[in-house]
Structure 1
Amino acid sequence: MSPGTIFFLPALLLLIATLIKVWALLKNWQDTLLRAVCAVLFIAALVFATAAPPVLALINEVTGVPNIAAPLVYCVLTAFGGSSIVLLIHWRGGEDEARTRRATRLTVAAYGAVMAALCALFALGDAPVERLRDLDTYYANTPYIREMIVLYLVAHSVAALTMLVLCWRWSRKVPGTLRAGLLTMAAGNVLTFSYDLLKYTAIAARWLGGNLDWLSTQVAFVMASVSALVVAAGFLIPPVGQGATSRLKALRRYRRLRPLWLEVRAAIPETVQAPLRWWAPMELRLMQIERDIHDALLRIGPCCDRELGTLVYGQAMERYADHKRALIVADAAVVAAAVVAKTGGGAGGSREPAARWAVSSTGNTADLMSMSLALAHPLVQATRQAAVPEGSRVL
């Protein structure tokens, strides 16, 4: 594997995550939180892209200044830490907007000052030998360069610990995918801080005359790659998870309403829009099927027999002694018989009954689903079979 591949791979994955969020942002450009998420993911991708040895060498060559890519990478890394904190502050929100603005300004000012200090320290120091992988340890004892290295690590550690504390505290107050995302980000920041500890250890070893450079050049990089991907996953889990949960709920409702839709489909006017294809968004398919059911129930309303409903309701009450359940079974039986009568399958064609039964299980989707499930009840099946003329019955 080439030296750049192990840097470009996480950069590519983070860039893909950025593009996914940008696609959502294009549909809702006014969402400031979504813009902040895109910025954080893009900066994370930029960290790995600029830290790749081939890119470092190119920057140094183009500028003609050995190791000038180092403060650039440190500044990008610092910007990532600061932007992550700002994102979490705005993500959490709260009633005190003034406090949120103050926290944001303080974070931006602090990390902006760190970035300015990193550039100043590099300008004051002397790093003539180009080091693409081990600059942290190679210049661990060089005046000003040493301070620059320690400063970026301290800023990085503060950001990781701040994110860890904020994510952990918030995760204890929220449920579902948001909690999962926060806990994932907390785990990612534990890995981030572990990266810093490895760097501190390797640098301290240099100060003491030892050599543990492999902790910085090998182990720490793996830790950084994993932590960046875990943190990015934490940012993506809530919106992706909430979207998946919403679609799953819509699918469940759709499947439970489908028996009722099939029951009343014959009463749906031919002018109504044809059912959407299977690849259409599930929310739209659910909306269409609910609309079709309500339209059909309105059309068969005059054929709903009150005498039949009262009879089935009494039979269901004898079985269950539960008013709600008995009413749903009665509604389902009346609807099944009314569809037969409305579509001309009954003996009397579309003759209206002496008194109409008011179908009450239409107030919300839950009631419709209950009535849909009740269509399989033996009382409903017997009622439907009795409504069909003898010559048309399926034996």
Structure 2
Amino acid sequence: MQGPSYYIPAAAMAAALAFKVPSLVRAWRDPLLRAVCALLAMAGLVFFFAAPPTIAEVNRLTGITNFSAPLVYALLSGFSASCLVLIVNWRGGPPERTRRISRRWIAGYSVHMVLLVVLFLLGDAPVERLRDLDTYYATTPYIREMIVLYLAGVTVAGVTMNYLCWRWALQVHGWLRTGLLIIMLGYTFNTAYAAAKFAAVFARWAGHDWDGLSTDLAPILASLGAQVSAVGFCLPLVCQRLTDTWQTWASYRQLGPLWGELNKVAPGHARPGRVLGWSSAELSLTRRESDIHDGLLALHPYFDRRDHARAYAAATHAGCHPEQAQAVADAAMVTAAVRARLADPEGKIIDSAGTADSPAAEGPRDLMRISAVLREAPDVAAAPGPAAMPESEVH
């Protein structure tokens, strides 16, 4: 793998982090958001500093041969810790327990990073190696231990992530479970990366040359693992957002018949719903619900409990479930009120509202069911008997 193979994913991680920074500033105390940003930052740094051109430049700027080795290994340890902290916070649970587990992982890998630097300082690596340091120095005292230690850290993180994701996946369903399984696949690649590196190092100890596993195969496995894991982390969040948006628009459309009925007499309240874009589903639904409530409030003087009672009795006699019968009765009362309002263009009933013996009834509540009745049986007010009942609701 050459420089672009490292710099492109590093740039992608940097862009994702930049997208998250405003949210992080607004909600700094959110542990899950901090964990996500830490993961993005560590992943981007690993890819950037592991690129051969960056390794050479860092060595030159510091004046220390192979200084990039402990730097990259320490970043890998930090990345491993950030993954574990993210999965712990993502799963949730008692806040104190979550914080305690997160701190343990952070403390453990912090010690791990310090040991990597100490071992490098104790060892001797005078020949610069940009791509094959692991195998070239596999038998060098202290450098050898540093290599084994960093690979052990990667392995522990990979195995632990798979274990945690598997336990969680058994308890959930849907997109979250799919995402967790994809994360497990990604960390299987990461574990395979460590296994390939270990195999090449052990081969050196035995006097064999399996350097290709470390130099050629392992970087590919690491890149695949990072990309697959990123998909696993993002998929549940993106799909859940799309699902929520779709359901919101579905609710918006389902309220259309009721909104249209009220718009006949209260155009000032039931304004035409303007689609504001993909991200405005919640706003559009809120506006439509507000329009409906305003329209019902304007019709309140025209609601007649007698219309409601007659329609409810007819729906019950037709075999409707009580909840559906209530919705049919509400729809009948609304449509009757609309007709009464149309027959009273001067608003005389409104002016006299609140007088004795007013027949006004309590307004309807289950807007979705009422709208469904109006969609399936728009003539419900005219004929509230069996002929007006939605066929799917008559038992």
The TM-score with structure 1 as length reference comes to: 0.86
Distance in 1, Cα, partners of 2:149 & 2:237: 35
Tell me, in whole angstroms, the C-alpha distance in 2 between the residues paired with 1:100 and 1:369. 40
Query: Aligned pair in 2 of structure 1 residues 307, 17: CA closer, same or farther (>3 Å)?
Result: same
Which of the numbers 181, 184, 187 marks the counterpart of 1:186?
184
1:45 alignment counterpart: 44
Q: CA deviation at 1:58?
A: 0.8
1:164-200 Cα offsets, whole Å, 9 max, x none, are 2122222323344443333332222222111111111
Q: By how many angstroms is 1:100 displaced?
A: 4.2
**5 Å matches for 1:368-383?**
368-378=367-377, 380=379, 383=382
Letter paired with 2:127: V
Aligned counterpart for 2:361 among listed residues 346, 358, 362: 358
Offset from partner CA, 1:266-290 (integer Å, 9 cap, x none): 3336378774543262111111111
Note closer, same or farther for the CA distance 1:325–1:273 as it changes in structure 2 (3 Å cut).
Answer: closer
Q: Please name the residue that 2:91 is paired with.
A: 92
Return the offset for 1:379. Answer: 6.5
CA RMSD of aligned residues (A): 2.9
Q: Which runs of 5+ in 2 are unaligned?
A: 384-395
Q: CA deviation at 1:246?
A: 2.4
Matching of residue 16 in structure 1 with residue 19 in structure 2: no
TM-superposition CA deviations, 1:4-33 (whole Å, max 9, x none): 111112222222332333343344333232
Give the SS at the match of 1:268.
coil
Give the equivalent residue in structure 2 for 1:291.
290
Using the TM superposition, name which of 270-279 and 319-328 deviates more: 270-279
Give the Cα–Cα distance (whole angstroms) in 1 for the partners of residues 107 and 312 of structure 2.
Answer: 71
Taking the TM superposition and a 5 Å limit, the aligned residue runs for 1:153-232 are 153-232=151-230
Residue correspondence of structure 1 range 1-395 to structure 2 within 5 A:
3-95=2-94, 97=96, 99-268=97-266, 270=268, 275-279=273-277, 281-344=280-343, 356=359, 358=361, 361-362=364-365, 367-378=366-377, 380=379, 383=382
Query: 1:355: Cα distance to partner?
Result: 6.3
Render the CA deviation track for 1:265-324: whole Å, top value 9, x for unaligned.
233363787745432621111111111111111211221234433443343334334332
Distance 1:91 1:106 in 2: 16
Distance 1:378 1:160, change over 3 A: closer
User: What is the CA–CA distance in structure 2 between the aligned matches of 1:245 and 1:372, rounded to whole Å?
Assistant: 22
- Equivalent-residue separation in structure 1 for 2:374 and 2:269 (angstroms): 26
Moved more, 168-177 or 296-305: 168-177
Q: Secondary structure at the match of 2:23?
A: helix
- The verdict on how the C-alpha distance between 1:100 and 1:35 changes in structure 2, with shifts beyond 3 A counting, is closer
Contact 1:341/1:349, CA 8 A, preserved across alignment:
no
Question: Matches of 1:56 and 1:11 in 2, distance apart?
Answer: 14
Question: What is the distance in 1 between the residues matched to 2:91 and 2:204?
Answer: 41
Alignment coverage as a number of residue pairs: 378
How far apart are the structure 2 equivalents of 1:317 and 1:271?
33
Q: For the Cα contact (< 8 Å) 1:60–1:69, is it kept in 2?
A: yes
- Partner amino acid for 2:223? S
Identity of counterpart residues, as a percentage?
A: 44
Q: CA deviation at 1:344?
A: 4.1
Q: Identify if the C-alpha distance between structure 1 residues 217 and 359 changes in structure 2 by more than 3 Å, giving closer, same or farther.
A: farther
Deviations 1:56-111 (A, max 9, x none): 111111122221111110010011112222333333343371x5444334322321
2:195 & 2:208 partners in 1: Cα distance? 17
CA 1:28 to 1:356, structure 2 compared with 1: closer, same or farther past 3 Å? farther
Are the aligned partners of 1:57 and 1:132 in contact in 2 as well (CA < 8 Å)?
yes
Look up the equivalent residue of 2:192 and give its one-letter code.
Answer: S
